Structure 1
Amino acid sequence: MSEDNVVALHRIETMNEVSLPPSVPEGDLELTHPSLYINRELSFLRFNWRVLQQAMDESLPLLERLKFVFICSSNLDEFFEVRVSEIVQRSQFAGAMRGPDGMAPQDVLEKISGFAHELVAEQYRIFNEVLLPALAEKNIHFLRRSQWTDQQAEWVSRYFHDEVVPVISPIGLDPSHPFPRLVNKSLHFIISLEGRDAFGREASYAVIHVPRSLPRLIRFPDHLSEKGESLVFLSSVIHAHAGELFPGMQIKGVYQFRLTRDSDLDVDEDRVDDLAKALKDELLSRHFGTAVRLEVSDQCPERVSNFLLQKCNLSERDLYQVNGPVNLNRLIAISGLLERPELTFRPLVPRTSPQVMVHHNHIFEAISERDIMMHHPFESFETVIEFVRQAASDPDVLAIKQTLYRTGKQSEMVRALIDAARAGKEVTAVVELRARFDEQENIDLAARLQEAGALVVYGVVGHKTHSKMTLVVRREKRALKRYVHLGTGNYHAGTAKLYTDISLLTCDQEIGQDVHQVFQQLTGMGKSLTMSRLLQAPFTLHTELHRMIENEIDNARRGKTAAIMAKMNSLTESSMIRALYVASQAGVKIDLIVRGVCCLRPGIKGISDNIRVRSIIGRFLEHSRVYWFKNGGEEKIFASSADWMDRNLHYRVEVCFPVLDKRLARRLKREALLCYLKDNSQAWLLQSDGTYKRAVPGKRQSFRAQSVLLNQLAHDG
């Protein structure tokens, strides 16, 4: 790590230092003290810091390092659109509820601002000072205006007039042209100008809105690239020629900017008759929610940036001055402009389960033989699609039921459901219309399924349906048999290549009956039903997790070996954290693999000194949720769609399923837990003060969990 990077890391890491309580004697359960809880928002920003550090990892291919800068930018966008906007709303109410960390909303906003400004500065430093020079060494050049040759400048001029001018509309600001209503996250330019136009109008400013249809990154033709590939930012093209849009006016300055708005939809489900229609109406206003962040070029004068802040009703705290394109995440399009396979990861060739290959055209025979577990993306998600595809074409299949949260626009899974419905099978789809930022896509998906004859329901008012399950009912001889898929990830073939997730295919009668009951709850009405195998939120999952933790506590107090291992995306639910603190005090050994937000503080003497927390950041997004309990030697292991968060445990429909086949249970423990606990190269270890330290191999051999799983389960190239 470079000296500059170390300094930046120190600045950020010291921003969330807290005064930890003194050592707490065993049995003194002051476990609601605010200092025992890390602020959720600051923990999320630390996660993005870890993502950004992947861009500094020279062991990764160069274009993949660049992608981590874009991912960090995209994550920050959503963070401001959803989390920051929510805190801004709460801060407007006196006596607003504080979280377990005890911080008031205004204090949280101040902390966020300080941390986020440092993070953004570091993001652009890495982009400009590390990655662009490294790309230039590989003959990939991002050319600034000052670097254009005469021929390149002439080509840019033609591009501007042919491709840009026809689709943009400059707006001079005067009494008849007030400051425009800016679209969320769109690229804009503010032009400082002087003079009078043909109508005698005088204006100090004008605004150019750049539509999303224009690419933010443009590749020069090969004959204009002296070495390798040359690219230019759209912002540079517009900057160079913006003055031509205001003939006769004197241009004083051209500055790019971007506004981020509240993008969370506000639909009172108890007061609407048609959720789909209400969401459609609300989606129209998503682009124009309350402003929460303003990004401007760092060359923008204070006078101009203050003008923008005033027009957007923002304060100086909300201003982010950046040294480069204000919309870095749109530059991810570079992957489609270059063909440099040596600078990217070798293609992943996932393995197909040997059990499935033996029964390739008869997947129900394969499942009947033995449960099938898959660890995506190392093992192919195509098997799950094939499960539904064969169900759609099998004359013995009578019904297919599936929950759909995110699927992708060109989903083979959805196509199979449509084929099944058109073939006369009973198809039931529980479509979650409120999957954030996929609402419109899911509304369209629901319409397509309904047109094909499927029964479409939208789940339960007030509870997002986040569980991932498919139920197939098949007639075999004279009886009906249930086949089930349960997963930790979405039915999205694209993300299945990028996220780590667990899938289980089974025909276990009790699991099948439980899944049937969950679908009955989602589509019908009635009291919560007792289940044999599954744990379900919001009814039994939270309670049963507590019961299993308490069982480990009892075992530890009786002198038995007690241990918990759990892997998840986020840990924020305060009662779960308190239960883990109690377990630690009782002597239970606890290992947590938490990719993102973690509000628990490990390593506090007398409270959490038996808890270790690590985060793994690598090529694939860690997305699987797996919980393991020692249980006095009779080990229990579960996979789930639920994180240990308030929303997942109390306000969503989630499913947690046991892996009953002992062979598969051992494999799941080894691959999803023990392998990641051995990682000494891509693991970040959470400290008691809320900071993270990267694990280093030292004298040991480097061990990267994802690389090991690639080698064991798939083919990398």
Structure 2
Amino acid sequence: MDSKPTETSLPLNAPELYINRDLSLLAFNKRVLAQARNEAVPLLERLNYLCISCSNLDEFFEVRVASIIEMASIDPNTISADGTTPSEQLAKIAIYAHELVNKQYQVLNDILIPTLAEHNIRFIRRKDWTKAQHQWLTTYFNEELLPILTPVGLDSAHPFPRILNKSLNFIISLTGKDAFGRNSGRAILQAPRGLPRVVQLPAEATSSGPHDFVFLSSIIHEFINDLFSGMNVTGCYQFRVTRNSDFFVDDDAIDDLLLAVQGELAMRNYGDEVRLEIDANCADDTVNFLLERFHLTRDRLFLVNGPVNLNRIQEVNDCLDRPDLKFPPFKPSIPSCFGKDKDMFAAIRKNDVLLHHPFESFAPVVEFLRQASADPDVLVIKQTLYRTGADSPIVAALIKAARAGKVVTVVIELRARFDEKANIDLAAKLQEAAVHVVYGVVGYKTHAKMCLVLRREDKQLRNYVHLGTGNYHPRTAQIYTDYGLFSCDKELGEDVRRVFAQLTSLGKVTKLNKLLQSPFTLHKGLVEKIDRESQHAKNGKPAKIIIQVNAVVEEQLIKALYRASQAGVEVKLIVRGICCLRPGIPGVSDNIEVRAVIGRFLEHARLYVFANDGHQEVYASSADLMSRNMFKRVEVCFPIESKKLAARILHDLNLYLQDNSQVWFLQPDGTYRQHQLHDNETSVQAQALLLNELQA
């Protein structure tokens, strides 16, 4: 890579320098889907990757497509950074999304189902049912399904029913008349969400082995006539509607954020329609009927060759005890300073401690709060919770502390997307235990990951803090890569205390010693540090930037990185998902490399490293390089000041920069190229190496 300064006449706000964020997000899902084709990945994990790509696509339509549709109607002339209007974006998304969906079903039908069958895991089609299987399924339908299925014949007394977001439904064509002489020709059947979408056949119904499955949709298709006595079913087609699931809370018009979120949450399942999925065999007149009913055009129609709720196939994994087809289990390690029955406060007083999840256990975070809740010298505990669960051991420790008489304050973000209901329930549970619960700052999501423990020691008060890049969620800490820092540094502790004061009280912005905080100093601080590297490079000094995040979107930060590249700074970006920056553009981003690593664990850490002329700075953060993180959320970015811990993070990042087996490189045209090993090239997998180094 040429590190000499380059020049160009192209302005840094030129649309051709930016990749559309939504097409970039679809490209991420394409990389996830590629894992389902990867023969080096265990077979059931490949099925899991397929389901994840489908679930991600659901959310993409529920949130991103829905917001662009709204923008197209409110302000159709809005131009995004890449120079496209909302309508133009929707047209491009339709092409890319249809291509992606076609590949999903191709992977399912042509690769995974046949390969699973080779391992005696079979999805049995109706035409292949044996007599014994048909007999068992007849009984299953009559006893388990028939009593709870409620078809609705469409006529003037039975209008088209409200269709729940992402639910499995069937539209049925009928001839003949019922007992009252009625027949509109069509009926709708909604499958209750509690029903399994994949039914496992018992041993007595199959002779091929214990792992035979039938799709719920196949069972309903086979026995649909039983629901319409005396009539003739001429067609039965599954369909699913995806709705706008984002909701708007008017920050200026609400008195109680909890009540406002509860009110909006009730409407989520019935938002505007944004996508329609139908069985590919559906008759054209029925397709047109549904499109008209849902006010959708053909670019939002997806005709699919398989179950419309493809992500629900994931249920199969729960039914199978096949460790030979899954990732091998591992036991995350615990630092020796946090060993069994050790005083965590004493360990933290001695040195800052860094944890790298999931390679290292999340248990010390839980134990930290457990010890704090039981310690008579602990007076105060303050905690942010973005995504967790009411049954979390974190929550149990906070409740125990409150009941022990400690002052416990929890900042819960009610608007953590798709976790709103869980967070409302969590707030109620904590309040019942006399925990002081607040919902942050109206208009700003609290996304920072912070815990503060105030402890009396030798007639003085000392702050202990935990700061993280990921949520306080023990389950996701097993599958997301994140960092967490324990420290009792005086200035850092005071900074965390001040941020909590902002969240729970009123007052002006207070100066922080070490933390960068959005929406106040984080964006400006990062731009300044990037520009400082540019100045070092111009002065002939060592200059390098390494950033690992989930997304790179914010335009001013992208421009700063472009300026750094033009100045000759070596810029290495490790970006899991969206990246709107184009690397390798002559005169603009020659010195920028963007790579994405897709492996066993979801890359979730946010790290920022600046060479700073030999005075290297390493930061970890809860924030990605997105406008929302910089300006509409409360985030913190914290320094890793211990040289030993900073060196450890550099070691980890270098593994990712050496990865040649799970890495994709972003090309100047916005596409991603997966690196292919050469014959004499030794495989390097960053996540596998970290597992080998850090697991117990």
TM-score (norm 1): 0.95
**Does 2:658 align with 1:681?**
no
Identity %: 54
CA distance in 1, matches of 2:333, 2:675: 30
Aligned positions of 1:352-431 closer than 5 A = 352-357=334-339, 360-431=341-412
Cα pair 1:195 1:203 within 8 Å, conserved = no
User: CA RMSD for the aligned pairs?
Assistant: 1.0
Deviations 1:559-607 (A, max 9, x none): 1121100000000001111111111000000000000000000001111
Quote the residue 1:530 is aligned against: 511
CA distance in 2, matches of 1:641, 1:225: 51
CA distance in 1, matches of 2:39, 2:88: 37
CA distance in 1, matches of 2:619, 2:203: 54
Match of 1:91 among 60, 72, 97: 72
CA shift for structure 1 position 266: 1.4
Aligned positions of 1:190-205 closer than 5 A = 190-205=171-186
Cα pair 1:408 1:493 within 8 Å, conserved = no
SS of structure 1 residue aligned to 2:481: strand
CA distance in 2, matches of 1:461, 1:52: 38
Quote the residue 2:548 is aligned against: 567
CA distance in 1, matches of 2:528, 2:267: 44
Quote the residue 2:326 is aligned against: 344
Match of 1:320 among 279, 288, 302: 302
Deviations 1:337-368 (A, max 9, x none): 111111001112100111111x7331111111
**Does 2:127 align with 1:146?**
yes
Matched letter for residue 670 of structure 2 = G
Matched letter for residue 26 of structure 1 = E
**Does 2:487 align with 1:506?**
yes
Q: Could you tell me which runs of 5 or more consecutive residues in structure 1 were left unpaired when the two chains were aligned.
A: 1-23
Deviations 1:158-189 (A, max 9, x none): 11111112222100001111111100000000
Matched letter for residue 691 of structure 1 = T
CA shift for structure 1 position 307: 0.6
CA distance in 2, matches of 1:704, 1:90: 42
CA shift for structure 1 position 227: 2.2
Aligned positions of 1:58-97 closer than 5 A = 58-97=39-78
Match of 1:580 among 538, 561, 564: 561
Deviates more, 1:223-232 or 1:163-172: 223-232
SS of structure 2 residue aligned to 1:89: helix
Matched letter for residue 697 of structure 1 = L
Q: Could you tell me which runs of 5 or more consecutive residues in structure 2 were left unpaired when the two chains were aligned.
A: none
TM-score (norm 2): 0.98
CA distance in 2, matches of 1:302, 1:708: 53
CA shift for structure 1 position 670: 1.0
Match of 1:223 among 201, 204, 209: 204
Quote the residue 1:243 is aligned against: 225
**Does 2:160 align with 1:176?**
no
Matched letter for residue 610 of structure 1 = N
CA distance in 2, matches of 1:410, 1:65: 30
SS of structure 1 residue aligned to 2:683: coil
CA shift for structure 1 position 552: 0.4
Cα pair 2:6 2:568 within 8 Å, conserved = no
CA distance in 1, matches of 2:357, 2:551: 20
Matched letter for residue 288 of structure 1 = Y
CA distance in 2, matches of 1:594, 1:481: 37
CA shift for structure 1 position 708: 0.5
SS of structure 1 residue aligned to 2:416: coil
Aligned positions of 1:107-186 closer than 5 A = 107-186=88-167
Matched letter for residue 152 of structure 1 = Q
CA distance in 2, matches of 1:182, 1:394: 52
Quote the residue 1:292 is aligned against: 274
SS of structure 2 residue aligned to 1:167: coil
Matched letter for residue 220 of structure 2 = I
CA shift for structure 1 position 223: 2.6
Matched letter for residue 326 of structure 1 = V
SS of structure 1 residue aligned to 2:411: strand
Quote the residue 2:315 is aligned against: 333
CA shift for structure 1 position 409: 4.1
Cα pair 1:467 1:655 within 8 Å, conserved = yes
CA shift for structure 1 position 272: 1.1
Deviations 1:513-544 (A, max 9, x none): 00000000000011111111100000000001
Matched letter for residue 195 of structure 1 = G
Deviations 1:652-698 (A, max 9, x none): 00000000110000001111x11101000100000000000001221
Quote the residue 1:456 is aligned against: 437
Deviations 1:226-266 (A, max 9, x none): 22310111111111111110111111111000000000011
Quote the residue 2:244 is aligned against: 262
CA distance in 1, matches of 2:49, 2:20: 24
Quote the residue 1:35 is aligned against: 16
SS of structure 2 residue aligned to 1:329: helix
CA distance in 1, matches of 2:367, 2:193: 36
Quote the residue 2:261 is aligned against: 279
CA distance in 2, matches of 1:537, 1:284: 31
Cα pair 1:616 1:684 within 8 Å, conserved = yes
CA shift for structure 1 position 28: 3.4
CA shift for structure 1 position 281: 1.2
Cα pair 1:535 1:655 within 8 Å, conserved = yes
SS of structure 2 residue aligned to 1:448: helix
CA distance in 1, matches of 2:274, 2:349: 54
Deviations 1:618-637 (A, max 9, x none): 11000000000000010000
CA shift for structure 1 position 484: 0.3
Matched letter for residue 582 of structure 1 = R
Cα pair 2:163 2:270 within 8 Å, conserved = yes
CA distance in 1, matches of 2:39, 2:378: 52
CA distance in 2, matches of 1:193, 1:568: 54
CA shift for structure 1 position 29: 5.5
CA distance in 1, matches of 2:400, 2:335: 25
Aligned positions of 1:17-36 closer than 5 A = 26=7, 28=9, 30-36=11-17
Cα pair 1:601 1:689 within 8 Å, conserved = yes
Q: Measured at CA, do residues 496 and 199 of structure 1 come closer, stay the same or move farther in structure 2, by a change above 3 Å?
A: same
Matched letter for residue 219 of structure 1 = Q
Cα pair 2:543 2:613 within 8 Å, conserved = yes
Quote the residue 2:676 is aligned against: 696
**Does 2:643 align with 1:626?**
no
**Does 2:656 align with 1:667?**
no
Matched letter for residue 263 of structure 2 = D
SS of structure 2 residue aligned to 1:612: strand
Match of 1:478 among 453, 456, 459: 459
Deviations 1:45-79 (A, max 9, x none): 00000000001111111000000000000000000
Quote the residue 1:4 is aligned against: none
CA distance in 2, matches of 1:627, 1:361: 32
**Does 2:265 align with 1:306?**
no
Query: How many pairs align?
Result: 690
CA distance in 2, matches of 1:597, 1:436: 18
Matched letter for residue 156 of structure 1 = L
CA shift for structure 1 position 95: 4.3
**Runs (4+) off by over 2 Å:** 93-96
Match of 1:643 among 620, 624, 632: 624
Deviations 1:469-496 (A, max 9, x none): 0000011120011100000000001100
Matched letter for residue 327 of structure 1 = N
CA distance in 2, matches of 1:94, 1:267: 20
